[in-house]
Chain A
Amino acid sequence: MAVSRIAFCTSNDRNSCVTDLLNNPAVQAGFLPFIVALALGLALARTRFLALAAASGVIVVLSLTIGFSLEPFTSVKKMVAVTLVATAIALALEAAGIGARRNIVAALAVAAGAAAVWTLQRVLQQMESPAAWAVAAGAFALALATASGATMAGSSSALRGAVIGACLGWGSGVLALLGASALLAQLGLAVGSASAAVALLQMLRGREAPLGWTVVVPAAVAAPIIGVLACATGELRWYCLIPLPFVALAALLVPAGAFRRPWQTAFATGIAALVPVLVAVGFAWMSSSNSSPVG
């Protein structure tokens, strides 16, 4: 008890300690989304609805930071809305027994691209026309490529999907942090942590979830939009986002049956998928030699 007090807070008031803990950005974006997703994942392990556990991270961060009010309907709130709507669509597809057919994935990817542009709408309105078109086209292409690649790569394996989701979420979170936007960073890291919890669940159970091809959808939709917003509303350079679509391709380098045990597959897939993430973070780091935003 004494140890935990020293670790988490110095106050003797238990309520104050809990408040301090809940106000800690690392707890908000990492620990709690992971725990909540783990609990939800346990409850949903035998269903097709694991995407709900992966998306729960966003809800945890919202509830602990800016709340659920839609006013003002900023680009960050639009991003959250898009992620939740994409998750709802994914769950509906799973409930209807619709698999990862090419036309379904293509439609999801085009919708993700259009949603990225819609999210940026107010930022684009402040720009000169040529720049606005270039930013809109870039956002559309990035979201399309990332969402289609990640959904295709994750469609044959729920474990791979969860690992890709973790890498995309964490990657976009770190990029946003380097772009001087802490809330976007928290949202990205939370999606990553929740996806990691879904992956861990499968590793602990010793077998992949046989259902749930859409587990990657929340991260596949959220990560590119977080990256684009970190560029448009923060200080991140656009070229730092180029490696994001390659996360799914790198994950495919590890075949689904390459290892006997799920944790081995997850570990190898994670290492492969983290390479493009590290390249992106390296670009961001070099572009500004920065670290975190300050309050």
Chain B
Amino acid sequence: MSKRFCILAQFENPAQLIHAAEKTRDAGYKHFDCYSPFPIHGMDAAMGLKRSPLGWIAAMGAFGGFSSAVAMQWWMSAVDYPLVLSGKPFFSYQAFVPITFELTILGAALGAVFGMFALNKMPQFYHPIFESPAFMKKVGDDGFFLGIESQDPKFVEQDTQRFLESIGAKGLEVVSEGEDHE
């Protein structure tokens, strides 16, 4: 028998899913996720998630872009090949502002995008949740799911199933990690 990944419960709409998330959080589960075709306002609080640290990563990207732009312009214009141009100082920082600004933006954008990929562990082309055909059919369309994962310390298959039924889940499915997926 293959390894259990999670028990997946389907809900009808965003309101039901957000209430289910609150109840799951209050029941003490930690390893669960709510799946929806679009982000639902207030879900982070309902699941008890902390704020994403992505802002710091983007800020680091911005700082990297800023400092490499200043260093590059300084080294190229004032150190490696100092050239008098229109009588300006070699390190004419006022004229370096536009490029510094653009590269700061670029660094922040790269930090935001690739930081998001890293935090989301993307690309990740296989995930056990993809084993559920009902999930794959609906989650990008109009399905709202809550999955409690087997790695959660409170996870006991029968109890967790009964809990999900008690909070109004419509379809319950046990999702296992596939062994011989095509």
Q: Are A and B physically bound partners?
A: no
